[in-house]
């Protein structure tokens, strides 16, 4: 019986999940994540990411930083600073995608 349940679950995921979504787990939430970066991150890092309470998050400011370290900071915050952990709201893949979004620059709209 257990094998049937596993097979049914795998079949359902393969049939219901849009093509490519498993390759890019961020795709369904892309718009939400961009909005989160603009609004939530922007509340401390500046709405244009040029800095505020937190440092600037422009590509020129973070391109030399280790992407894995940036992902870690997003997920776990920084003790002794105003940077909170976002692991309750983001998956590892989403945090990595946010890092790449910041390294390449937020879309204009």
Q: pLDDT (tens digit, 0 to 9) for every residue of the chain, 109 residues total?
A: 555 544 444 444 444 444 444 456 677 888 999 999 999 999 999 999 999 999 999 999 999 999 999 999 999 999 999 999 999 999 999 999 999 999 999 887 6
pLDDT of residue 25: 61
Full domain range(s) for residue 95: 26-104
The Cα–Cα gap between 79 and 59 comes to 24
Flag whether 82 is in a domain. Answer: yes
Local structure of 53: helix, strand or coil: coil
Flag whether 40 is in a domain. Answer: yes
Flag whether 56 is in a domain. Answer: yes
Q: How many domains does the chain have?
A: 1
Flag whether 51 is in a domain. Answer: yes
Flag whether 10 is in a domain. Answer: no
Flag whether 16 is in a domain. Answer: no
Per-residue pLDDT tens digits for 32-58: 999 999 999 999 999 999 999 999 999
Flag whether 100 is in a domain. Answer: yes
CATH label of the domain that carries residue 66: 1.10.760.10
In the chain, the percentage of residues whose pLDDT exceeds 90 is 68
Over the range 18-43, which residues count as b (16 or more CB within 10 Å of their CB) and which as e?
Answer: eeeeeeeebeebeeebbebbeeebbe
């Amino acid at each position: 019986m257990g094998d049937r349940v596993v097979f049914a679950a795998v079949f359902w995921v393969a049939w219901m999940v849009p093509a490519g979504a498993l390759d890019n787990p961020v795709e369904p939430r892309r718009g939400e994540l961009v909005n989160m970066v603009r609004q939530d991150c922007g509340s401390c890092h500046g709405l244009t990411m040029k800095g505020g309470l937190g440092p600037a998050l422009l590509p020129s400011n973070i391109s030399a930083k280790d992407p894995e370290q940036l992902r870690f900071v997003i997920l776990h915050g920084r003790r002794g600073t105003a940077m909170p952990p976002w692991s309750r709201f983001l998956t590892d893949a989403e945090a990595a995608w946010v890092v790449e979004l910041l390294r390449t620059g937020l879309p204009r709209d």
